[in-house]
Chain A
Amino acid sequence: MTDLLLGPFSLRDPARARGLASLLQRYAPKDPVRIVHVCGTHEMAIAQHGLRSLLPRGVEVLEGPGCPVCVTPTGDLDRAVKLAERGAIVCTFGDMTRVPGTRVTLAEARAHGADVRVVLSPAEAVEVARANPERDVVFFAVGFETTAPGTAAVLLDSPPANFYVLSSHRLIPPALVALLAGPPVPIAGFLAPGHVSTVIGARAYRVIAERYHVPVVVAGFEPLDILYAIALLLRQVREERAEVENAYPRAVSEEGNLRAQELLATAFAPSDAVWRGIGRLPGAGLSIRDELARHDARRAFSVRVEEGEEKAPGCLCSEVLLARAVPTDCPLFGDPCTPLSPVGPCMVGVEGACNVWYRYGERPEL
């Protein structure tokens, strides 16, 4: 049985899944534990395969602030809307156009005549800038360490003078620390996001294990990857260890992608940043370095926006992002808040916990 801990082989094999499920029962904790992951892809895999129904009683797995679209603050959205209304072409990823700022969404601004375009990559936004030399083109950049190197690469590749980046990039490790440092929610362990970890490496989480004595397991995205990683976490909890374990070695190394890290460090500097629903977190954002200031939309255009937080009454998004509540705890979930008419950002982003739970029929009672 313990040979299952050698790693997953056939990643959706039902027999192996049953084996891991009974192994999970063996590591079932005596007291209830809360495990937090911070990745929309993890949440989709967990929901799509019904993995929560395989966990031992008392083990909860929650998505924290794992959806970049959801944590982008209203101030940045308002800034993007204002730039678009002033005549700039604003390029961004599809979901971002549907997230409400304090007044409107980018899609609504577009309906009123603003030039807002959906792109699939930062390079596509650069192409828009080259094709429209007489216009200012702003790439509204969101995402974690996974997408930020792409933005860094275009910033460092001599983009045209009319190309600007509005950086709303965020960093994962400082957010994990913030979840631990916040008001007491006992977090027994973290499932670290596989994609982000390919860039920053497993070593980036050592601070969590060493300073805060909370175990971290880097997890892949197939059902068995996730069950396996949860088994490793529960074993650490049971054995009262707090280490960083890599359950996704086929993609993630100890040191990560050094070239991507170098790009990030050359184009950006870590800075304090507001996370929607959570607040200002030290060192958890990426600002464009002074050498590239001429491409920084924040410095190139003076736009006044409120940094305050707008929240719909009754919406539990903040609690969901802080891993203190699950979507079905929210009184608005499903009625009136649905992916077609979202109230809070967790229902807008396809990686948001509420959106995923709604689409995949995830319910704790199953």
Chain B
Amino acid sequence: MQRVVPVRREARAVSGRLREERVTSLHGAGGELMGRFLAERILPKFRLRSAGPIGLDKLDDGAVVGLPPGRLVVTTDNHAVKPFRFPGGDIGKLAVCGTVNDLAVMGAQPVAITMALLLEEGFPLADLETILTSAARELVDLGLPLVAGDTKVMGRGELDGIMINTTGIGVAEPAISDAGLRIGDVILVTGTVGDHGMALLAAREGFHLQTELQSDVAALWPLLAPVLAEGGVTAMKDPTRGGLAAALNEMARKAGVGIEIDEEEIPIRPEARALSDLLGISPLEVACEGRAVMGVAPDRADAVLASLRHHPRGREARVIGRVTGDYPGRVILRTGVGGRRFLEMPLGDPVPRIC
């Protein structure tokens, strides 16, 4: 007994301090502490909390969502980015943008989003606060309500800090697939490629690289909504894992057409190119988180390009190539020095845990 008491007191003191600053198992245990945690630390972060009669505030088993006319589009993503805070954003912003962008490149206006948090015991609450604040800021900008959520706490070492799952629902009229390319279409990108992957890589421990490069993470819907109204988009994709190379190959394969790309026309920031040369990783093979690549009917290309460039997130939009009947399912790259080669589907993203 004599020995136990001081140890207990010490343990209580430590856990009391931890409870203030860090995630503990009780935060996800469904009891009083979890209720307070949700009500005080999570829910107030989000200003828009319903898209119908039952929303987040009701803490019901599900949300009831009213939909505008059109086809329902659903998408879900797990986000496990490392480091969780990176130049240009963090996992909170990424979790919202990643899901909204998947809806947007389907041609869908986002209607509601859900968010499930997986937290490692000991994760600093201040970091969680930052992450939720940046997610909430994106949602307010988009006018998008968070209608349902879940929080689970994993034991130490069972998870690397934090994972976020987001599910988005949207409405498209019409929906755009990534398989609709037609011979003669023009291929456009909405901005510079490779920024996200290269910025993340530079930010990782052990590289000690000083760079001004920032992730391009951003929501695409405000940029794409006017473009879709313009008409003429035949196929669209957001080049995330595997980058532009993977997106183009997938689009060529699915449509059974060839794509010819001019390397010189692909917008790449000098910082991204420098990092790419240094690390031996192609900027065409790493993820973007705020870009779209699309096929556009040739007679609509000028209008679509003008519409993209009118928006701040589309200033650097560029025509990078065209769809051909040669080499169906393959992407041909005309290199900067005038040579030709296939741009292959990457074997895997050279940068793991990117989104």
Contact = CB atoms under 8 A, between A and B. Distances in A.
A50 B333 CA distance: 8
Nearest to B264: A14
B340 A12 contact: no
B336 A361 contact: no
Interface in B302-338: 332-338
Counting chain B CB atoms within 10 Å of each CB, the highest count among A18, A48, A338, A340 belongs to A48
Given A14-B264, A49-B336, A362 B347 contact: no
B340 A366 contact: yes
A362 B332 CA distance: 10
A53 interface: yes
B343 to A, nearest CB: 6
Given A340-B347, A359-B347, A14 B336 contact: yes
A235 to B, nearest CB: 20
Contacts of B264: 14
A359 B344 contact: yes
A209 interface: no
The secondary-structure label for the interface of chain A is helix
Contacts of B344: 358-361
A52 B336 CA distance: 14
B341 A366 contact: yes
B194 to A, nearest CB: 15
A339 interface: yes
Given A14-B264, A339-B347, A361-B333, A51 B339 contact: yes
Nearest to B343: A361
Contacts of B342: 360-363, 366
A17 B338 contact: yes
A50 B340 contact: yes
Top 9 nearest A-B pairs (CB, nearest first) are A50-B339, A361-B342, A17-B337, A50-B341, A361-B344, A53-B340, A50-B335, A223-B337, A366-B340
A250 to B, nearest CB: 17
A49 B333 CA distance: 9
A67 to B, nearest CB: 15
A54 interface: yes
B93 to A, nearest CB: 33
15 contacts: A14-B336, A18-B338, A49-B336, A50-B334, A50-B335, A50-B339, A50-B341, A54-B337, A54-B339, A359-B347, A360-B341, A360-B342, A361-B344, A366-B340, A366-B342
A227 B337 CA distance: 10
Contact of B335 (A48, A339, A359, A363): A48
A251 to B, nearest CB: 16
Nearest to A47: B341
A96 interface: no
A261 to B, nearest CB: 28
Contact of B337 (A12, A339, A362, A366): A12
Nearest to B342: A361
A361 B340 CA distance: 9
Contacts of B333: 50, 361
Contacts of B340: 50, 53, 366
Contact of A224 (B337, B343, B347): B337
A138 interface: no
Interface string B168-203: 000000000000000000000000000000000000
Interface size class of B (residues with CB under 8 A): 10 to 19
Interface in A107-144: none
Given A223-B336, A361-B333, A361-B341, 18 more contacts: A12-B337, A14-B336, A17-B336, A21-B338, A47-B341, A49-B337, A50-B333, A50-B337, A50-B340, A51-B339, A53-B340, A54-B339, A223-B337, A338-B347, A360-B341, A360-B342, A360-B344, A361-B344
Interface in B250-275: 264
A39 to B, nearest CB: 15
Contacts of B337: 12, 14, 17, 49-51, 54, 223-224, 227
Contacts of A51: 337, 339
B339 A53 contact: yes
B284 to A, nearest CB: 11
A46 to B, nearest CB: 9
B332 A54 contact: no
Contacts of B332: 366
Interface in A2-34: 12, 14, 17-18, 21
A13 B46 CA distance: 51
A53 B347 contact: no
B339 A49 contact: yes
A18 B339 CA distance: 10
A22 to B, nearest CB: 11
Contacts of B339: 49-54, 223
A145 B96 CA distance: 52
A366 B340 CA distance: 6
B149 to A, nearest CB: 38
Interface in A332-348: 338-340
Contacts of A358: 344
Indicate the member of A48, A49, A50, A366 with the most B CB atoms within 10 Å.
A50
Counting chain A CB atoms within 10 Å of each CB, the highest count among B332, B338, B339 belongs to B339
Contacts of A366: 332, 340-342
Contacts of A339: 347
Contacts of B347: 338-340, 359
A47 B343 CA distance: 11
Contact of A12 (B334, B336, B343): B336
Interface in A194-225: 223-224
Nearest to A54: B339
A21 B335 CA distance: 14
Nearest to A50: B339
Interface string A246-288: 0000000000000000000000000000000000000000000
Nearest to A20: B337
A223 B277 CA distance: 14
A340 to B, nearest CB: 6
Contacts of A49: 335-337, 339, 341
A304 to B, nearest CB: 37
Contacts of A12: 336-337
A358 B341 CA distance: 11
Nearest to B285: A359
Contacts of A223: 335-337, 339
Interface-centre pick from A52, A339, A340, A360 (highest chain B CB count, 10 A): A360
